[in-house]
């Protein structure tokens, strides 16, 4: 229970469904001592208190589990390492994969619980053969199946998503009806471990700022940047290149090369990719056909794109029927069959079937 | 996991060191006094009546701990008394002689003392020395003596708790007082855990200031006292009406003070029998848990070296929080150490000071007995501990190693 409205209602619904529920709030700060002195600010303790108050109202036991070491190692360090390598990771996805449905689930199962229930917006459907399928939530605007796309069948079999059949606005109304004080608490959007929301500044502080060139696709130097970690592929704003492009059109970050500390910029069409090379594919409800006509999603709340995916020797090749823009290595490609999540892979490279 | 079991079996409350259940007589006395109007500082009839009850309570409490009534300074509880004693003594002693900057204490004090000392260090120019303890959590008297000897003139005060709140180890306060007295250094002791369990004699102890509190002796929360010798100079922490000897301001809380007095009387009256009874339960729990979980370890000394009501055990491979949760689900309430405001588990500074490693420190439970405890409580713990340890061990491995691979 994060202290937000979703996990509070999820807990209440799990109780109503007849489960024996215990509320767990995860302490994820690297320095647990900071909780005492409040050096990390009020928000974390406030969230913890909100979660505790929700548990009180629902009438369930409540505990705080300290997973700060695991979180630091598996999510924060991974986030830094990925950026340092020029990739764009999704820490929420990593947290689901390594913390919520791994460290927490393992510990819970060992302690005698059967499943982890969360406030994620996704639906689980148990097939006649016992396999648990994950589907998009009814509320497509809130659907979080993308960040859950890294879960295995075993993890899904021990998961509950009680909110998947309801829209967010209905959940807020329900929270109100249930007397949960968090009913109108704003949604969280930012990366939870970057408290001020300044991801670029946070990365620069940890990975070091180092000036480097900004070049065009031909290699001509257009300017300098103060650290490539502040950029993401597809970014348009904040490039601060003195002279405008010859054709006067806006320029976008096309590539980040951490070793030479080079940021390549160019026109939007140069961002277009329609061929993705995925690694470490994972199929959550059975191995698919070798070639499948499917839909893919490339980022949280991103559009659904028609594609043909091919399972190839430990990897996954994805051909997009229409090009996508701003695809960065490190992002996950989640593969859908209708509303069903088939699985996911990590994008290692993105390119064009035919050169521009 | 919780409701089914707690409905059929009564709660086993083994966290008296955190807060004791309040005596029914205390509840009655507090309620009765709450119904009476009057500020004890007012001069009219109602005020005089309220004052009379407060002063009678002061006399009762003084008698219970062998102090003079004028030595009882009412406060809001242990934390305030500890803050008042440590800061108030430091400020007064330092003002009288600026050379007095050193504060000597133990490394196992309660946070109310420890954090006050850290504050004095960062804000008031104090030099704090936290002296080591042995593996049983007993202050190393020799290192205290050596530290004082090095430069007695520079010591502002010594503060050492009478018994540790986590592991229950009794501290060699007589030796501490003897060492300090040679140089006229004032001594404060936090005796919160001792009252009602062992005899408490302020006059005989030789200390200058002693912290006691209501909610560890079957009294109300939010009221306590600093026992303070009449000749000790102390700078006030709270300023205002100067109600308590000019060292503590705030409208006198008559009802709470009456409750404290009733609890003090009850705590002291039955102390001998209770002490014997509690130490019997304690030893029974320790022996039977060690039998059931052979690799468990007792923290702190066995027998008379610890508080009668304290059993503190480490369970290798377990996370104390997992154990606590599993026992809680069975209706057995204990603690992993001292309660933490944010609910975030941290390795106990007491166990670390005793030379335990992080994992051992985090895999520990404190069972503390008090006036409502019975042998049934011990039986319930012994029944529940083995399956709890097995599960916590499995979870401990799952929680710390690589997880799902």
Q: What is the ipTM of this complex?
A: 0.84
φ/ψ of B71, rounded to 5, equals: -90, -5
DSSP conformation class of B137: S
Q: What is the pLDDT of residue B404?
A: 33
- B193 Cβ under 8 Å from any chain A Cβ: no
Parallel, antiparallel, or unpaired: how do β-strands A62-66 and A116-117 relate? unpaired
CB contact under 8 A, B404 and A155: yes
DSSP alpha helices (H): ranges in B77-170? 78-96, 111-123, 141-150
**Confidence band, pLDDT 50/70/90 cuts, at residue B6:** very low
How far apart (Å, rounded) are the C-alpha atoms in residues B217 and B200?
A: 13
- Would you place residue B398 in the very low, low, confident or very high pLDDT band (cuts 50, 70, 90)? low
Count how many pairs of residues, chain A against chain B, have C-beta atoms within 8 Å.
Answer: 87
Q: How far apart are CA A210 and CA B124, in angstroms?
A: 42
Nearby residues of B156 by Cβ (< 8 Å), 6 or more positions away:
B89, B90, B93, B94, B100, B101, B102, B103, B126, B185
Instruction: Provide the annotated active-site residues of A.
Output: 95, 192
The better pLDDT of the pair A321, A269 is held by: A321
pLDDT digits (tens, 9 = 90+) for B69-125: 999 999 999 999 999 999 999 999 999 999 999 999 999 999 999 999 999 999 999
- Indicate the SS3 state at residue B298: strand
Q: Compute the average pLDDT of residues B256-277.
A: 95
In degrees to the nearest 10, what's the CA dihedral of A188, A191, A194, A199? -120
- pLDDT above 90 covers what percent of chain A? 61
- Asked if B273 has any chain A CB less than 8 Å from its own CB, the reply is no
Q: For residue B249, what pLDDT is reported?
A: 96
Please report which confidence band the pLDDT of residue A58 belongs to, taking 50, 70 and 90 as the band edges: very high
Query: Hey, of B332, B403, B405, which one would you mutate to test binding to chain A, going by the most A CBs within 10 A of its CB?
Result: B403
B334 in active site: no
Nearest C-alpha neighbor of B357 from the set B314, B395, B400:
B314
- The token duo for B209 is 């200031």
Residue A140 has pLDDT above 80, yes or no: yes
pLDDT at position B5: 46
Measure CB to CB from residue B394 to each of A98, A110, A155 and give the nearest one.
A110
Contact between B360 and B351 under an 8 Å Cβ cutoff? The reply is yes
Q: pLDDT by residue (tens digit) across B117-155?
A: 999 999 999 999 999 999 999 999 999 999 999 999 999
pLDDT of residue A193: 83
Q: How confident is the model at residue A355 (pLDDT cuts 50, 70, 90)?
A: low
pLDDT score at A260: 84
Share above pLDDT 70 across residues of chain B, in percent, rounded to a whole number: 94
pLDDT of residue A68: 85
Taking residue A91's Cβ as centre, other Cβ atoms within 10 Å add up to 20
- CB-CB neighbors (< 8 A) of A45 in chain B: 342
Report the C-alpha gap between A140 and A145 in whole angstroms: 10
What pLDDT score does B1 carry? 46
User: Is B122 touching A (CB cutoff 8 A)?
Assistant: no
- CA B176 – CA A12 distance, rounded (Å): 55
Nearest chain B Cα distance for residue A87, angstroms:
23
User: For chain A, what is the HEC assignment?
Assistant: CCCCHHHHHHHHHHHHCCCCCCEEEEECCCCCHHHHHCCCCHHHHHHHHHHHHHHHHHCCCEEEEECHHHHHHHHHHHHHHHHHCCCCCCHHHHHHHHHHHHHHHHHHHHCCCCCEECCCCEEEEECCCCCEEEEECCCCCCCCCHHHCCCCHHHHHCEECCCCCCCHHHHHHHHHHCCCHHHHCCCCCCCCCCCCCCHHHHHHHHHCCCCEEEECCCCCEEEEECCHHHCCCCCCCCCCCCCCCCCCCCCEEEEEECCCCEEEEECHHHHCEEEEEEEEEEECCCCCCCEEEEEEECCCCCCEEEEEEEEECCEEEEEEEEEECCCCCCCEEEEEECCEEEEEEEEEEEECCCCC
Q: Out of A48, A63, A112, whose CB is closest to B391?
A: A112
Please, which pLDDT band fits residue A32 given cuts at 50, 70 and 90?
very low
Q: Tell me: the pLDDT tens digits for A290-323?
A: 999 999 999 998 999 999 999 998 899 999 999 9
**pLDDT at B399 (0 to 100):** 52
| Alpha carbon of B264: minimum distance to chain A alpha carbons (Å) | 32
Q: Which residues contact A92 (CB under 8 A, 6 or more apart)?
A: A147, A191, A300
List B residues 320-379 in contact with A (Cβ-Cβ < 8 A): 321-322, 325-326, 328-329, 340-346
d(Cα A204, Cα A224) in Å, to the nearest integer?
15
Contacts of B172 (CB under 8 A, 6+ apart): B138, B139, B141
Residue A37 has pLDDT above 60, yes or no: no
Q: Which of A199-208, A265-274, B347-356 has the lowest mean pLDDT?
A: A199-208
- Written in H, E and C, the secondary structure of A320-334 is EEEEECCCCCCCEEE
Please tell me the distance in Å from A295's CA to the nearest CA on chain B: 28
Instruction: Mutation target for B interface from A111, A113, A117, A280: give the one with most B CBs within 10 A.
Output: A111
Comparing A94-98, A257-261, A293-297, the range with the smallest average pLDDT is: A257-261
The Cβ of residue A323 has, within 10 Å, a number of other Cβ atoms equal to 16
**The pLDDT value given to residue A186:** 83
CA B315 – CA B295 distance, rounded (Å): 7
Percent of chain B exceeding pLDDT 90 equals: 90
Closest-CA residue to A236 (of A217, A258, A213, A263): A263
The pLDDT confidence band at residue A235, using thresholds 50, 70 and 90, is confident
Q: What is the mean pLDDT of residues B244-267?
A: 96
Nearest alpha-carbon partner for A276 in A333, A329, A350, A343: A350
Strand partners, B131: B106
CA B229 to chain A, closest CA, distance in angstroms equals 33
Q: Name residue, tokens 């018994």.
A: B163
SS3 string, B3-52, reads HHHHHHCCCEECECCCCCCCCHHHHHHHHHHHCCCCCCCCCCHHHHHHHH
- Rg of chain B, C-alpha, whole Å: 22
Check whether B400 has a pLDDT greater than 80.
no
What per-residue confidence (pLDDT) applies to A34?
38
Contact in structure between B299 and B360 (CB atoms under 8 Å): no
Average pLDDT over residues B251-279: 96
* pLDDT value at residue A172: 96
**Whole-number pLDDT of residue B216:** 97
Q: Predicted confidence band at A42 (pLDDT cuts at 50, 70, 90)? A: very low
Q: Token pair of A121, please? A: 């917006």
Put simply, the answer to whether A66 touches B342 (Cβ < 8 Å) is no
Highest mean pLDDT among A34-48, B218-232, B338-352: B218-232
Mutate to test the interface with B, among A22, A58, A112, A113 (most CBs of B within 10 A): A112
């Amino acid at each position: 229970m994060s202290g937000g409205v979703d996990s509070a209602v999820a807990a209440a619904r799990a109780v109503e469904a007849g489960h024996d529920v215990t509320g767990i709030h995860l302490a994820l700060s690297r320095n647990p001592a900071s909780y005492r002195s409040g050096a990390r600010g009020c928000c974390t303790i406030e969230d913890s208190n909100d979660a505790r108050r929700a548990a009180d109202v629902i009438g369930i036991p409540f505990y705080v589990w300290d997973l700060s070491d695991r979180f630091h190692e598996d999510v924060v360090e991974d986030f830094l390492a990925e950026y340092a390598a020029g990739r764009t990771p999704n820490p929420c996805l990593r947290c689901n994969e390594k913390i919520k449905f791994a460290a927490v689930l393992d510990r819970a199962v060992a302690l005698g619980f059967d499943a982890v229930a969360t406030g994620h917006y996704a639906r689980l459907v148990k097939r006649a053969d016992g396999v648990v399928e994950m589907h998009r939530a009814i509320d497509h605007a809130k659907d979080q199946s993308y960040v859950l796309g890294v879960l295995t069948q075993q993890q899904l079999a021990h998961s509950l998503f009680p909110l998947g059949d309801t829209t967010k606005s209905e959940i807020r109304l329900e929270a109100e009806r249930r007397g949960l004080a968090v009913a109108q608490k704003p949604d969280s959007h930012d990366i939870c471990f970057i408290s001020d929301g300044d991801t670029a500044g946070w990365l620069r502080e940890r990975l070091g700022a180092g000036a480097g060139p900004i070049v065009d696709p031909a290699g001509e130097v257009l300017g300098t940047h103060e650290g490539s970690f502040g950029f993401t592929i597809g970014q348009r704003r904040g490039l601060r290149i003195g002279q405008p492009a010859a054709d006067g059109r806006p320029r976008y970050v096309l590539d980040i090369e951490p070793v030479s500390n080079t940021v390549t910029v160019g026109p939007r069409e140069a961002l277009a990719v329609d061929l993705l090379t995925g690694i470490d594919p994972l199929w959550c409800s059975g191995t698919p056909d070798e070639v499948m006509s499917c839909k893919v999603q490339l980022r949280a709340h991103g559009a659904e794109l028609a594609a043909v995916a091919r399972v190839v020797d430990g990897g996954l090749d994805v051909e997009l029927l229409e090009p996508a823009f701003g695809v960065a290595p490190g992002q996950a490609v989640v593969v859908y069959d209708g509303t069903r999540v088939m699985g996911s892979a990590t994008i290692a490279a993105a390119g064009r079937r035919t050169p521009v | 996991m919780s409701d089914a079991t707690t409905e059929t079996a009564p709660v086993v409350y083994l966290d008296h060191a955190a807060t004791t259940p309040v005596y029914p007589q205390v509840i009655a006395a507090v309620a009765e006094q709450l119904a009476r109007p009057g500020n004890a500082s007012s001069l009219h009839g109602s005020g005089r009546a309220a004052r009379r009850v407060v002063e009678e309570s002061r006399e009762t409490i003084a008698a219970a701990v062998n102090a003079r009534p004028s030595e009882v300074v009412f406060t809001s509880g242990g934390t305030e008394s500890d803050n008042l004693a440590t800061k108030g003594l430091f400020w007064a002693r330092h003002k009288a002689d600026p050379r007095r900057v050193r504060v000597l204490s133990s490394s196992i004090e309660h946070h109310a003392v420890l954090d006050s000392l850290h504050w004095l260090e960062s804000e008031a120019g104090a030099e704090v020395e936290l002296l080591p303890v042995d593996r049983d959590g007993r202050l190393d008297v020799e290192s205290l003596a050596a530290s004082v000897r090095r430069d007695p003139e520079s010591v502002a005060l010594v503060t050492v708790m009478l018994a540790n709140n986590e592991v229950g180890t009794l501290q060699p306060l007589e030796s501490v007082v003897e060492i300090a007295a040679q140089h006229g250094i004032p001594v404060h002791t936090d005796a919160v855990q001792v009252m009602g369990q062992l005899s408490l004699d302020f006059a005989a102890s030789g200390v200058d200031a002693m912290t006691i509190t209501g909610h560890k002796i079957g009294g109300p929360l939010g009221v306590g006292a600093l026992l303070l010798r009449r000749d000790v100079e102390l700078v006030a922490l709270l300023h205002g009406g100067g109600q308590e000897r000019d060292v503590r301001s705030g409208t006198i809380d008559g009802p709470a003070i009456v409750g404290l007095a009733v609890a003090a009387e009850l705590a002291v009256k039955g102390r001998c029998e209770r002490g014997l009874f509690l130490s019997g339960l304690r030893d029974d729990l320790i022996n039977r848990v060690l039998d059931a979980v052979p690799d468990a370890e007792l923290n702190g000394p066995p027998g008379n070296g610890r508080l009668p009501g304290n059993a503190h055990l480490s369970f290798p491979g377990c996370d104390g929080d997992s154990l606590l949760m599993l026992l809680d689900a069975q209706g057995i309430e204990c603690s992993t150490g001292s309660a933490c405001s944010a609910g975030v588990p941290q390795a106990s500074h007491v166990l670390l000071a005793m030379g335990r490693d992080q994992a051992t420190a985090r895999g520990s439970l404190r069972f503390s007995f008090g006036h409502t405890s019975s042998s049934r409580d011990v039986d319930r713990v012994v029944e529940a501990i083995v399956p709890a340890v097995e599960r916590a061990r499995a979870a401990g491995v799952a929680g710390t190693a690589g997880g799902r691979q």
